[in-house]
């Protein structure tokens, strides 16, 4: 019975210790590095849509891929660039 009580106390401390708060660790120079950033690159996503079947003959759906690419593409001549440059 004493062993069970000891186990319960140890488990309680372990569970409660896991709920304690921790500090976020960042590099000391992160603020200086972020201020030094002059440009940000926005790259288009790689899109692949595949219909997965139980037979193993998975089918790539290129029409859906193209639709997603058109809707998610960012044109360098678009208004987003003007907003960023202000």
Give 7-45 pLDDT, tens digit per residue.
888 888 777 776 666 666 667 788 888 888 888 887 777
Torsions phi, psi for 50 (to 5 deg): -130, 130
Residue 1 pLDDT grade (very low, low, confident, very high; cuts 50, 70, 90): confident
**Tell me, what's the pLDDT at 64?**
92
User: What pTM does this model have?
Assistant: 0.39
**Structural tokens at position 9:** 């106390």
Which whole number is the average pLDDT over 45-51? 88
């Amino acid at each position: 019975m004493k062993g069970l009580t000891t186990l319960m106390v140890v488990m309680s401390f372990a569970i409660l210790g896991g709920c304690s708060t921790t500090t976020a660790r960042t590099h000391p120079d992160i603020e200086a590095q972020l201020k030094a950033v002059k440009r940000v690159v926005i790259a288009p996503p790689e899109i692949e849509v595949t219909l997965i079947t139980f037979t193993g003959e998975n089918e790539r759906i290129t029409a859906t891929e193209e639709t997603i690419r058109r809707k998610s593409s960012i044109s360098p001549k678009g208004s987003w660039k003007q907003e960023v440059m202000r």
